[in-house]
């Protein structure tokens, strides 16, 4: 089995890198390193040395222009070819919240055909229908048609959201492509797993209740909710009241799936 090395990108207002790194450490990664994006651009650190690259949550470049836009352009211009090779090698890329916004703004998600990492931007994430920042817990449910290695052994997942621009939008043609290609990963649902457009269960008004998508290969996952916020029982808001909560937070399974996939790649 391979050693699993995780590269967590930091800098420029990214502020969820530490807890994201902890999640991968708890999931069994051999090495987790948080590196400023400039060190990767300048060649001090090579993505080739890692099996997983992570775009964590935060407020990159202060969300100027729109959330994720500036960092997305910077990465596509400076690291686009290297990132495309990384994906072609069947390695994993994860973007959470602002990281998801970065991915869609640079066209990495949903991307082109399986053999092409990038495409022109075809989906977006815009201001929540509530017109306010949403910072609370919701429920998401895995879409069974998505076969991404990130999603193994996950069904219904209580999870935190922390975003002001999380409404997933695209034209009807692109939404149909995502649905038919099995690229929807998670939907906002009621606690029993039924997709919903109703607020507050759907915190932002996302079309078709879409909370996360992957590329066609399933190796690139972008999601608005924060799985790294629920890696232990005591992070759940009801942990002192619900005796049946497992000691391990349910979000940890996503990180464990990623680590296990790279071990056997």
pLDDT digits (tens, 9 = 90+) for 134-180: 999 999 999 999 999 999 999 999 999 999 999 999 999 999 999 99
Active-site residue, from 16, 97, 134, 143: 97
pTM above 0.85, yes or no: yes
- Rounded to an integer, what distance in angstroms lies between the CA atom of residue 174 and that of residue 155? 25
Range of the domain at 116: 5-263
pLDDT digit string (tens) for 4-31? 999 999 998 999 999 999 999 999 999 9
pLDDT tens profile 212-245: 999 999 999 999 999 999 999 999 988 988 878 8
Number of folded domains that form the chain? 1
Specify the DSSP element, H or E, that contains 79.
helix 69-88
Domain of residue 9, CATH code: 3.40.50.880
Structural contact between residues 80 and 41, judged by C-beta atoms closer than 8 angstroms: no
- Clarify whether 228 is annotated catalytic: yes
- Catalytic member of 16, 143, 226, 236: 226
Helices (H), 144-199: 172-180
134, 143, 165, 228: which is the annotated catalytic residue? 228
Catalytic, 97? Answer yes
Percent of the chain with pLDDT over 70: 98
Q: Which of 118, 99, 116, 124 is nearest to 175 (CA)?
A: 124
If phi > 0 it is left, if psi is from -120 to 50 it is alpha, else beta; for residue 120 that is beta
């Amino acid at each position: 089995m391979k050693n699993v090395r995780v590269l967590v990108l930091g800098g420029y207002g990214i502020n969820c890198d530490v807890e994201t790194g902890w999640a991968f450490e708890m999931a069994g990664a051999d090495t987790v390193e948080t590196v400023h994006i400039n060190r990767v651009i300048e060649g001090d650190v090579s993505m080739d040395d890692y099996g997983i690259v992570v775009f964590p949550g935060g407020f990159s470049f202060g969300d100027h222009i729109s959330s994720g836009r500036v960092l997305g352009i910077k990465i596509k211009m400076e690291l686009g070819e290297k990132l495309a090779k990384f994906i072609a090698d069947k390695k994993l890329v994860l973007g959470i919240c602002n990281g998801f916004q970065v991915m869609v703004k640079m066209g990495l998600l949903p991307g082109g055909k399986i053999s092409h990492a990038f495409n022109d931007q075809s989906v977006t994430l815009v201001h929540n229908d509530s017109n306010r920042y949403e910072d609370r817990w919701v429920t998401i449910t895995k879409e069974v048609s998505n076969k991404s290695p990130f999603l193994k052994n996950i069904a219904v997942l209580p999870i935190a959201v922390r975003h002001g621009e999380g409404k997933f939008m695209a034209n009807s043609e692109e939404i149909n492509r995502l649905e038919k290609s099995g690229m929807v990963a998670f939907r906002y649902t009621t606690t029993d797993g039924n997709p919903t457009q109703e607020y507050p269960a759907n915190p932002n008004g996302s079309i078709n209740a879409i909370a996360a998508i992957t590329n066609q290969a399933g190796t690139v996952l972008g999601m608005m909710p924060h799985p790294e916020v629920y890696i232990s029982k005591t992070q759940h808001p009801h942990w002192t009241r619900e005796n049946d909560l497992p000691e391990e937070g349910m979000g940890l399974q996503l990180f464990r799936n990623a680590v296990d996939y790279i071990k056997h790649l």
